[in-house]
Amino acid sequence: MPAPSYSVALETPASEPVALAPVAVEEPTRESGVYYNARLDPKNFLEGPLSPNPATRLRQMLARPGIVVAPGICDGISARCALEAGFDCLYQSGAATTASRMGQPDLAIATLNDFVGAGQMVSSLNPSVPVIADADTGFGGPAMVARTVRQYARAGIAACHIEDQVQTKRCGHLMGKQVVSREEFITRIRAAVIARDGIPGGSDFVIIGRTDSAQVLGMDEAIARLKLAAAAGADVCFIEGVKTKDLLESTVAALAPTPVLVNVISGGLTPSFTYFEAEQMGAKIIIFSLVSCVAMAHACRAAMKSLKKTGTDFISAQGMDPKKFFEVMGLNEIIELDAAAGGSAFQLV
């Protein structure tokens, strides 16, 4: 399909229009049903310094050697801890967000606004670090899927994954899942891609197609769905619940050259692969969805039991006084900013 061209006319002082030469504008195409956007071709992200734009940076990380490791975060504390540990990508888990913000299980209870609010906060802590965020089913039909992508991108999130479960979805590692038809799933992906491509200025936001059909309809159907998702414009493919090393390797081979994301949850459907192992199997992104919230549940349970038993929080504090805690939360950055701006509010803290 030839790229469209546009003629531009300028007004002269005598109001005589002057026609300029046509300017070619290369736009995404869908020849034979396969999406292609030359601007987003991975080869365009192979060289140069890492971008401060998180979506562009994630595309650079996907195009270059090495696996992208994204620990699951659930709130500001877990995000700060992940950044302190040196991770260069974060994963905003839908299950973890629902648990931390609402105290509820991952059963389609959280809304678009809940997820966007959490994502905006996390993305603001270090705006150059990409955040991959769960977007569940897109929260509705094509219009809502498009709205979801636009709001995620506006919030500073770098990528989202959209799945093929029914609207009353559940955690991908619970039993009893139901999925929509292939057609409805691909409609969701196509709506997400159209919305991304319609963002003024040319967004690099990454669309991840996720299928939960492996446990419902089998691996062959899951692979078929993700091939269709990639053809519709999904930048990355994600099969939930890959149960063995061989299945992950065959999934990567079947979906090449589209990058594959693997989700590891201790005790879940997928074995507890290390990210070194996942990289050897060919995965390009690995997320550890519940690494923070499960650890926080254990730590908080222990602290509450200790307080109930001993009458003090001295043991659970482990020597961390308020200042040390706030340092993890970015206290020193604020002190430095205040001083650089000529302030004196934090000369003594």
Given the residues 59, 75, 80, 136, select the one marked as catalytic: 136
The answer as to CATH 3.30.70.20 being correct for domain 67-241+248-296 is: no
Rounded CA gap, 13 and 220, in Å? 67
210 is catalytic: yes
The pLDDT score that the predictor gives to residue 339 is: 94
Structure confidence by residue, pLDDT tens digits, 292-325: 999 999 999 999 999 999 999 999 999 999 999 9
173 is catalytic: no
Given the residues 161, 173, 188, 190, select the one marked as catalytic: 161
Q: What is the mean pLDDT of the chain?
A: 92
Alpha-helical regions (H) of the chain: 54-63, 76-84, 94-102, 112-125, 142-154, 182-197, 214-217, 219-231, 245-255, 275-280, 291-310, 314-317, 322-328, 331-340
163 is catalytic: yes
Given the residues 59, 80, 225, 263, select the one marked as catalytic: 263
134 is catalytic: yes
Q: Measured at the alpha carbon of residue 95, what is the angle toward residues 110 and 165, in degrees to the nearest 5?
A: 75
Residue 348 confidence (pLDDT) above 50: yes
Domain residue limits, the chain:
67-241+248-296
160 is catalytic: no
Mean pLDDT lowest among 3-7, 61-65, 137-141: 3-7
Structure confidence by residue, pLDDT tens digits, 147-198: 999 999 999 999 999 999 999 999 988 899 999 999 999 999 999 999 999 9
36 is catalytic: no
171 is catalytic: yes
pLDDT tier at 19, thresholds 50, 70, 90:
very low
The pLDDT score that the predictor gives to residue 174 is: 87
**Maximal CA-CA distance, the chain:** 89
Rounded CA gap, 195 and 112, in Å? 16
Rounded CA gap, 124 and 156, in Å? 7
The token pair at 13 is 């002082």
The token pair at 188 is 């969701």
300 is catalytic: no
The pLDDT score that the predictor gives to residue 16 is: 41
The token pair at 138 is 């897109």
Given the residues 210, 225, 275, 293, select the one marked as catalytic: 210
The pLDDT score that the predictor gives to residue 222 is: 97
Given the residues 74, 240, 275, 293, select the one marked as catalytic: 240
pLDDT tier at 26, thresholds 50, 70, 90:
low
